[in-house]
Structure formats: C-alpha cells, structure tokens
Structure 1
Amino acid sequence: MRLIDDVSLDALEGSRPADSLTVWAWRGDSLVVPEPLEVIDWSFEDQAGDSVKVGQRISVTVADPDGSLGAWRLDDPLSVAGARLQIIYRVGGAGAVNYGTFRVTGNEPDEVTESRVIDEYGYVEPDGLLEPHKRRVYMTRSVVKLEAVDLTVEPDRDRFEAPQSPGLGATVLGEVRRLLSRYFPVVVDPGVGDVAVSRQLVFDRERLEAVQDLLGRVSARYRMGGDGELHVYPRAAVPVWRVGPNEGLVRVQRKQSFDGLYNRWVVEGKEDGSGNPVRAAVSIDAGPLKYGGPHGRVPSFYSSEMITSTAAAVLYAIDLRDQFLASLALELNVECVPRPELQAGDRIEVGCPFEGRVVWIPGEITSIKRAGSTVPKGTSLTVVCAYGDVTAALDTTDWAQHLTGQLPPLTWDRMPATWGTIPAVIWDSL
C-alpha cells in the first residue's frame, strides 16, 4: 500500500474536486522538460504474482504543441534510451500520492502538420508557386503516447554475465539487497523473516528471477514503492482496506469455471527392482468434488523416473492433491471508487451481498486497472479469495443462527466444508 496522508484519505471517502495526474520527465538526474507534461489521457495496470513479468505499467498520452516530445533520435528528451516519468496522483482538494518512477519503453507521436503563407520581404521561393515576398511555413501539432514500466525492468534487463553464488554467512535479505543495490534502495516491510542461504546456491543468468527465488524461501514478494524504493512484503498480510456496499463499492462480480477442477491424481514412476510398474492414485472422497460424484471423474496425471516405489508414488499423489485443495480460490472482479494508495499484493476485505446480508471475504489484490483523463474513471480490482475463506464467510452467519435457535441444530452431515476453521468458542457451544 502506498503512503497517503490522513487528509487525502478523508477526501477519498467523500465529494471533492477532480483528481489529476502530474507527470515529470527525467533523464538521469535532470529534468528534460522544465514543466510537468500536459496529460490528456492515462491508464495504469498493476499486477502481483510469482512471475518477473508482473509489476506496474502506465500509458500516458500527453500534449505536444510544438512537436518536440515525439522522439526521432535516441537522445531526444522522451526517447526510450533512458527517459523516466515521475508519476504523482493528486487527490482533489487534498494531498498527493506518489505512484513512482517509470522507465519509458515506448514513444508514439500522433502528428498533424498544417501550413500557412506569411509575408517576408525579400524572400523568393525557389521554383515555387508563391509570389515574391511570400513564404510558406509548416507547423506540427501532436500528442504523444508514452508507455512506461516500473523500475524493476532495470535489474531484469541487467542479467548476470557469469554465474554467481552467495558469500559466507549470506542470508536471503542480504542477498536481495546485494543483487539490487545499484538500482534502488530495498525496504523490508514488517512480517518478513530472514534465513541463511547456502554457498552452494548458484545464480545463473536472470537477476530478477534470482531475487524472486530467494524471497520465495521466506514467503515474500517484491514490488516498487512510490518513492523509487523496492519493498519486500509478506505474502500473508493483514487486510489494509475493506470495500463493500455503502463503503466505496460500485460493483462486484464473480465467475466459476470447471476447467482444471481435478478430483483424482495418478502418479507413475520407474519400474521397481522386480520389474513391476510403479503407480498410485489418490482421489477426493467427499464433498462437491468427490471422485465419481456429481462432478464426475477428472483425473490428473504425473510421471517421473525419480519415483521408484509405490510408497513414494502414493506420497507424491497425496501431495499433489493437497496442493490442489490449498490452491482452490474464487476470483472477484471489483469496481470501486478511485483509491490511488492501493497496490497489487495488498490484502483487502470485500463485502458481498449474500442471502439478504453482506458477507466480508478476505483476499489478495492480484491486478489493478485505473484510467482517467481530466477525471479518474474509477478503480478495477481482481481479488483472489481462498476457497476456505469464501465458504467460512458464507457459513459464519449460519453458525450464529444455529446457536441461537433460529435454524435447526447442526449435524455432522450438514457441517460446512471448512469445519476446521470454526472458532473454538462456537465449537464449545455446539
């Protein structure tokens, strides 16, 4: 979550003058244009996940009255050979939120050229149709579309020229700082631990993939902050905001798809010492995905010569099943009022109408899309909610109604699938 002052937070909750975007253009440590660029239109996308291709992207269309911003040469002010954009979101009637600094990756001018004839005493147009003392001058008006990405693109492009390994006593966070120190400061958010790393570890070619793999060892990810710093943040964090009916929510949608909903895992390995084939299968035996139940029979297959016994095949099949169940999630598409401080990777709570009430479901923002011209057009979020959190949220009120006698007592065949998450105080009352 980006830093934001209390006055701006209060302004975001109510009516206010139009928000705006301020964009400064830099090359190295110098401004290449003395005034902020005149923004005509913009769109912004922020993604979180376990790929180096995620991150923040922005597209800005700016006015170019004299045609000087559309790049011809690589040393032109806004060329792709080093120009950067400093993006500031200004909350109408309040303060500002630093979006961050972005590397220009594309410069696309849309030019309109006009001409007119002026008087110029003594000028004669060579082989021209104009009478003496007349000159035709040309004027170019244009807008320029700039594409830019956050500064993690710099270490991503700077790959290792030779393999590297950690030094003596190296730790995950120490190595992350070492690998990224030349690009930006690294800030470790609360909740991120640190562990030692082996000197046998080898970083082969990709610098940013090495950082990602290191952070995976401490259940953390990275993202750029608003002041040009890289933040290391924990994957399992507390919600930083809630959005729901009468609390900033415009619309929430969801969609189910049965693609990838397996209920049996078949693992095959190399023949054992007796020449018998190594094979094991593990199924989901209860619930809505029960193998052979209404969902049908949907096996997933895996084979490896590294598996040399039936016992190992069984354990691996169980592991695949458990990984699948842990990964089950519901994706919510949330449209809300403009919230410039939110970032992909933040956890929030979404209030969803359900059976005449509002249930609050926690989830992680995996994608943010924003757009605007002179007025912001709102914020679109993709929020991934763990299936267990969804069912727990939907069933919580039912537990309370059962306990107060409003509904019949719970029986074992009617317990929710997430019975293990029921608070102890509720269990004690059953």
Structure 2
Amino acid sequence: MRDITPEALAALTGDRSRDRLLVTPWLDGAITWPGPLPVASWSIDWNRSRQIQGQVSLTVADEDGRLAPWMVDDVLGVGGPRLTCSLLIAGVGEEVMLGRYRITDAAPAQSWRSQRTVRGFDDQGLPVVTTEPPRWTSGGTVAVKADDETWGVQAADFLAPEVVVHQGSILAEIERLTDGIVTVSVADGVTDGTVPASVAYEGGRIDALGTLVRALGAQYRMTGDGQLHIFPATPGEPVWVIAPGEDGVLIDFARSYSAADFVNTVVVEGKSPDNKPLIGVAREMFGPLRTTGPHGLVPARRQSDILDTQAKVNQAAGTYLASAIRDRAIVLPVTCLPNPALEVGDVATLSTPVGDLTGPVETMRLSGGAAGVNAMELGITVSFEQVQVIGSRLRAAGQ
C-alpha cells in the first residue's frame, strides 16, 4: 500500500464529501503553477497487465487562457512537464501521494472574443465605446493525458542492439537500463539472479525490463513518489478488507466470466537435437471443462528450444495444464468507497455473507471532479475455486 497514517485509514469510512485531487505541475525540478491546478474532472486508472500501468486524464479549467499550451515546455506542454497527483483526505487533512506522471497529450479548447468597453450612450441612445485597441479574452478548458514514468522507458527504444553489461546481477542490469529515466527500489523477498551472456537487447527497452523482472519471479509498479518498485509476484497478505455494513466500505460487487480464460488443452513445442519439431499435448479429461464436453477445445501454446525429447515436451504439457487448472481465476469488478492507499498488486479481501474472497488488485480507478471524489472501481483477481465455494454457499443460503 501507499504511505497512509492510521488516522487517515480510519477516516476512509467517514464523510468524504470534501476530499479532493490535488495536481501540481512542474518542469525540470521547478513548480510551474502557483497552487494546485483548477481541475474540473479527472480519472486515474491503473492496470497491472499493462506495461505502462498508471494513466491520468484531466479536464483543467482555463478561464483566462494562461494554461492553454502553445510551447512544448508550457505548464501543460508535452515536452517534459510532469504532474504530481495526490488525494486530500479532508477529514484529517492528509494527502496520499498517487504518483508522478508525464504529460503525453494536451488539447486546449478555447473561445476568444474581442472586448470593447462601453463608456456611455449618446443623445440617440447609441453606445459610446472606448477608442483603445480591442482586448481579447479567452475561456475554455485543457484536456490533459499523462502516463506514469514508465512511459519514458517505453519511449527510449534501443537505438542499436546492446549486450548485457551486468551478467552477475539482474537488478544491476535493470538499474542500468532505466538509468536517467526512473529510480528503482526493490522489496524484501526479491532474490537477485544472473543474466545469460547470450542475451542481446534490441527494439523495446520496456520489453527488456519486463523480461528481466519476470526472470526474478517479480513484478513492478510505480510508487507514489515516482520510483519503479520491484516486488514478488507471489501475492502477499491482505492489506485491506472490503466489507459491507455501517462501518464497511463495500457498495457493490459483481462478477464476469470469459470462456476463453478456461484453457483445457496445452500444446508444447520443442526441438530435437537434429532440429526436428517435437509436440506434446495435454488435455483436461474430466469435469465440466473437459475437452470432450460442451466447453469444447480451448488450447494454449508454449514453446521452448530446451525441450529436446518427446518425453520432455509431454511432461511440460502436463505441467503447464496442471498449472493452468490450479491458477484459474476470474476478475471480480468491485465498486466501493475510495481508498487512495491501495495499489495494483496489493491483496484485498472481499467479505460476503457466507465467507471471504481474497486476491490481488488487478485494476483500479479513481475519479472525481469539482464536487468531490467518486466511488472507486476495482478489479480483484480471485481463484475460481474460491468463487465456486462462495457461490455454493450463497446458493444454499438462498442469497
């Protein structure tokens, strides 16, 4: 979770009508606007399946035209300005940092008019206007989109193939690849590894980052203070309970299923020592998702050149299928009161009348406007086994 005091966490179930998003623009280390921007509406979306997980959309009120960008380094320009976003929990006067974002798109909507000053009226009732040159006034908005700092990693593609520099440390190699773009922090539980000397980088820098992080058995996200944080991919302990009741925070939750997510066949491809293709197939033979049943054939493919015998590809296919069955999950859409300290990858518990559902936060959306902060939208990944158990209990209880 993001940094938050116990007092602010306790205030999440209180009056939230005065909570506000605070957005501060800056460039090259200097704040470029006196006070928070006049934000009329906003949303921040996080999705841990995206390479750039955090994305901001703002509508900024611009009554006098001072915020409408003309130059790339203006306050809301696209040539490097950043936005620091925080959510003010008004009940305790605390700000929770939501991250640092680089402006990627800006679209001013302005209407200009010539203004003349009426000094009076002549004997015939006609207006007498000033002889000064016309003064132009503006009123409008600026639509702004911004991405978290991994945008810079994605943009900075390799200009030419690069070889590994730190073969003995994946973490050192990650720091090298992101040097000058983002700083890196590493959570407890992440164990460093080595990078094969045969690896060569070309094309997408962010693709290389993802490959190295996955090799650590880890994932990454941007922190509230703008660091690239690497943490274990294995879900940790729950950090928040979404519960109904007078003191709870649950407003509504639903569930959705996709037939394509329920893979029941795995095909693994390898190569023999004499470079001939090897194919291993494993099928789910029992239960409602069996390949011979109404669900039909829903395959997934894997490939590895290190599988060089028929026995190896057969064994790998069985292993992958067992893993796919064990890891089956659905993403539960949840609407609840906003908790700005929550992050994608955090584990949350969703309480129901007959038991709890627990899983990592896959997606998260905060939004609001001048009137306050809207309800928060989450996608929580829950194992299918948990959902089946709770569903059976709810059905039996007549819920």
On whether the aligned pair clears a TM of 0.5, the verdict is yes
* Preserved contact between residue 69 and residue 144 of structure 1 (Cα < 8 Å): yes
Deviation at 1:183, TM superposition (A): 2.3
- RMSD between aligned residues: 3.2
SS of 2:325's equivalent?
A: helix
2:206 is equivalent to residue 205 of structure 1: no
> Which is greater in Rg?
1
2:2 is equivalent to residue 2 of structure 1: yes
Alignment of 1:254-403 (within 5 A): 254-265=255-266, 281-293=281-293, 295-298=294-297, 300=299, 310-352=310-352, 357-373=353-369, 374-391=371-388
Partner of 2:26: 26
Counterpart residue type for residue 98 of structure 1: M
Deviation at 1:151, TM superposition (A): 0.8
Alignment of 1:13-412 (within 5 A): 13-49=13-49, 51-52=50-51, 54-94=52-92, 95-118=94-117, 133=131, 135-167=133-165, 170-236=168-234, 237-246=236-245, 247-265=248-266, 281-293=281-293, 295-298=294-297, 300=299, 310-352=310-352, 357-373=353-369, 374-391=371-388
Cα distance in 2, alignment partners of residues 188 and 266 from structure 1: 35
SS of 1:254's equivalent?
A: coil
Cα distance in 2, alignment partners of residues 188 and 133 from structure 1: 67
The alpha-carbon distance between structure 1 residues 183 and 241, as it changes in their structure 2 partners (threshold 3 A), is: same
* Preserved contact between residue 351 and residue 359 of structure 1 (Cα < 8 Å): yes
Cα distance in 1, alignment partners of residues 55 and 130 from structure 2: 54
Counterpart residue type for residue 339 of structure 1: N
The alpha-carbon distance between structure 1 residues 299 and 358, as it changes in their structure 2 partners (threshold 3 A), is: closer
Cα distance in 1, alignment partners of residues 57 and 203 from structure 2: 30
The alpha-carbon distance between structure 1 residues 248 and 162, as it changes in their structure 2 partners (threshold 3 A), is: same
Cα distance in 2, alignment partners of residues 303 and 229 from structure 1: 33
* Preserved contact between residue 4 and residue 341 of structure 1 (Cα < 8 Å): yes
The alpha-carbon distance between structure 1 residues 45 and 262, as it changes in their structure 2 partners (threshold 3 A), is: closer
Deviation at 1:395, TM superposition (A): 7.6
Normalised TM-score (structure 1):
0.79
Counterpart residue type for residue 210 of structure 2: Q
Cα distance in 1, alignment partners of residues 195 and 273 from structure 2: 35
- For structure 1, the 5+ residue unaligned runs are 121-128, 398-430
* Preserved contact between residue 59 and residue 144 of structure 2 (Cα < 8 Å): yes
Deviations, residues 123-151 of structure 1 (Å, cap 9, x unaligned)? xxxxxx99783653321112211111111
* Preserved contact between residue 47 and residue 362 of structure 2 (Cα < 8 Å): yes
Partner of 1:427: none
Which structure is richer in relative contact order (CA contacts within 8 A, separation 6 or more)?
2
Q: How many residues align?
A: 382
Cα distance in 1, alignment partners of residues 263 and 169 from structure 2: 38
SS of 2:44's equivalent?
A: strand
Deviations, residues 305-342 of structure 1 (Å, cap 9, x unaligned)? 97886534533432342243134112200001011111
Partner of 2:124: none
Deviations, residues 376-415 of structure 1 (Å, cap 9, x unaligned)? 0110001111224444666899xxxxxxxxxxxxxxxxxx
Deviation at 1:117, TM superposition (A): 1.7
Normalised TM-score (structure 2):
0.85
Q: Percent identity?
A: 28
SS of 1:155's equivalent?
A: helix
* Preserved contact between residue 119 and residue 135 of structure 1 (Cα < 8 Å): no
Cα distance in 2, alignment partners of residues 305 and 329 from structure 1: 25
Counterpart residue type for residue 360 of structure 1: D
Cα distance in 2, alignment partners of residues 303 and 29 from structure 1: 46
SS of 2:354's equivalent?
A: strand
Cα distance in 1, alignment partners of residues 300 and 10 from structure 2: 53
The alpha-carbon distance between structure 1 residues 337 and 278, as it changes in their structure 2 partners (threshold 3 A), is: closer
Deviations, residues 232-265 of structure 1 (Å, cap 9, x unaligned)? 1111122211112222111110022323534344
Deviation at 1:35, TM superposition (A): 2.6
Cα distance in 2, alignment partners of residues 263 and 200 from structure 1: 35
Instruction: Please say which of residues 109-118 and 375-384 is displaced more in the overlay.
Output: 109-118
SS of 1:108's equivalent?
A: strand
* Preserved contact between residue 23 and residue 37 of structure 1 (Cα < 8 Å): yes
Cα distance in 1, alignment partners of residues 30 and 55 from structure 2: 23
Partner of 1:411: none
Q: Greater strand percent: which structure?
A: 2
* Preserved contact between residue 119 and residue 134 of structure 1 (Cα < 8 Å): no
Counterpart residue type for residue 384 of structure 2: Y
Partner of 2:397: none
Partner of 1:404: none
Deviation at 1:187, TM superposition (A): 1.3
The alpha-carbon distance between structure 1 residues 270 and 35, as it changes in their structure 2 partners (threshold 3 A), is: closer
SS of 1:174's equivalent?
A: helix
Deviation at 1:221, TM superposition (A): 1.1
Deviations, residues 345-383 of structure 1 (Å, cap 9, x unaligned)? 21111123xxxx332111111111111013101100011
- For structure 2, the 5+ residue unaligned runs are 120-126, 395-399
Instruction: Please say which of residues 77-86 and 132-141 is displaced more in the overlay.
Output: 132-141
* Preserved contact between residue 16 and residue 92 of structure 1 (Cα < 8 Å): yes
